[in-house]
Structure 1
Amino acid sequence: MDANKVVGNLTNKNFYNINYNTREINQDGEFEKRLLNAYENQDEEALKEVCREFEGLLLNMVYKQMRATVFRSDLIPKSVGREIFESMLDDELVKEASKNRSYGLAEDLYKQLSRTLRNRKV
């Protein structure tokens, strides 16, 4: 087995996944709409919620990319059911991580954005 070929395939697959996920988020535009709505209404609770969701989105992408870098053997074929299970597991892990504030990304993002929001009020 050629290690360069394996690394090259993983890299190409990772770039495809990142582009696909980013395109999916951008096409939806839901995050941007909710963020702008929180700013326009000067609603700090809505801003907190949007920040938590952004952290979840980011963590979800990180978890999927981490899983994509794991070498898989052809000894046990990968099934659609397993892919669905792993995706659902990643989603639940991300929800719990975001809920427990273990990473703190949402909190830091909220602090930064709320300062901007308070400056707009003045």
Structure 2
Amino acid sequence: MKIGNNVSMNSSIDSAKANAEKATDDAFKDMLERAKKSKDKSELKKVAEDFESIFINMMFKSMRGSSENKDGFIEKSNARSMFESMYDEELSKVISKSGGFGISDMIYKSLNKNIENTNKDDEDKVKSIDIKG
């Protein structure tokens, strides 16, 4: 009976984690679209930092997964897994906001350049319509 409850609890936790990751992905996509439409550089910078934070968090998950120690000092439990996950998420946010690996700066520059080029293309289209009209 105990085994069945643990399996059920693990699948519920896995399902909750998957839903949270999907929600994070959707929220990130929405933030990126809003930043592109508003052309707000501070919002664009935040999107770049959030992306770097997600990347660092994925790296932490991968690192923890590869170094699982079954005979560790603290027994591996659902509570410990949840704590480690929350800790990694917050740590990745702090790292990203404090300069991180420089990924957010590269993303920001690239997105900003894209927006500036889009603005220039739009201006060129308006000028060509005015000239033809």
TM-score (norm 1): 0.72
Shift of 1:96: 1.7
What residue is the counterpart of 2:84 in the other structure? 86
* Cα deviation 1:37-87 (Å, max 9, x = unaligned): 111121111111111111111111110110010041247631222212212
Residues 49 and 27 of structure 1, relative CA distance in 2, 3 Å threshold: closer
| Distance (Å, rounded) in 2 between the aligned partners of 1:49 and 1:109 | 11
Q: Which runs of 5+ in 2 are unaligned?
A: 1-13, 121-133
Greater shift in the superposed pair: 95-104 or 66-75: 66-75
Among 101, 104, 107, the alignment partner of 1:103 is 101
Q: Within the alignment, does 1:49 sit opposite 2:49 as a pair?
A: no
Shift of 1:118: 0.8
| Distance (Å, rounded) in 2 between the aligned partners of 1:91 and 1:47 | 21
| Distance (Å, rounded) in 2 between the aligned partners of 1:37 and 1:96 | 23
Greater shift in the superposed pair: 85-94 or 50-59: 85-94
Letter in 1 for 2:85: S
Q: Which runs of 5+ in 1 are unaligned?
A: 1-16
Is this contact kept in 1: 2:36–2:44, CA < 8 A? yes
For 1:12-91, what aligned pairs fall within 5 Å after superposition? 24-25=21-22, 28-74=25-71, 77-91=75-89
Describe the SS at the equivalent of 1:102: coil
TM-score (norm 2): 0.66
Structure 1 or 2, whichever has the larger Rg, is 2
Greater shift in the superposed pair: 111-120 or 27-36: 27-36
Residues 107 and 30 of structure 1, relative CA distance in 2, 3 Å threshold: same
Letter in 2 for 1:112: S
Letter in 1 for 2:106: D
Q: CA RMSD in A?
A: 2.6
Shift of 1:105: 0.6
Describe the SS at the equivalent of 1:29: helix
